Amino acid sequence: MSPRIIDTEHAPRAIGSYSQAIESRGFVFLSGQIPLDPKSMERVHGSFEDQLNAVFGNLRQVAKAAGGELSDIVKLTIYLTDLANYPAVNEGMTRFFEAPFPARAVIGVAALPLESPVEVEAVMSLGSDETYSY
């Protein structure tokens, strides 16, 4: 089975040599999203919360295009240029996710594309939630 490319006009277009997301074997790997407006392809400005909302909104659109929802995300990696925004990330996640929350890593970085303060990538599972015993 070949990987399936996920593409939607409701999220920012890839600004490099990558796909918005790729589905393979029941998992969808969502490329990092920064706070871009999908229509203008300009960076959303405003508060950190406004920008985080734009990022999660874009992830929601890519997840939807893949046939899933944010609740299907099992792993997030969040990149911040200022770790002082860590509490805002925790608060922001409660607007987009419910328990059980996805596994997550938050990583401080020196810079992100277009001087964005945040970028988020995700892994989503479209498979069943079967319990495996080994």
Q: How far is CA 56 from the centre of its chain?
A: 6
Which mean pLDDT values do the consecutive 10-residue runs of the chain (134 residues) have? 92 92 96 96 96 98 97 98 98 95 98 97 85 51
pLDDT at 16: 86
Which of 65, 71, 80, 73 has the alpha carbon at shortest distance from 120? 80
Asked if 105 and 17 count as a contact pair (C-beta separation under 8 A), the reply is: no
pLDDT at 105: 98
pLDDT at 31: 98
pLDDT at 129: 60
Report the predicted TM-score, pTM, of the whole model to 2 decimal places.
0.92
State the sign of the Cα–Cα–Cα–Cα dihedral 100, 102, 106, 111: negative
Asked if 108 and 23 count as a contact pair (C-beta separation under 8 A), the reply is: no
Domains delineated in the chain: 4-125 (3.30.1330.40)
pLDDT at 130: 59
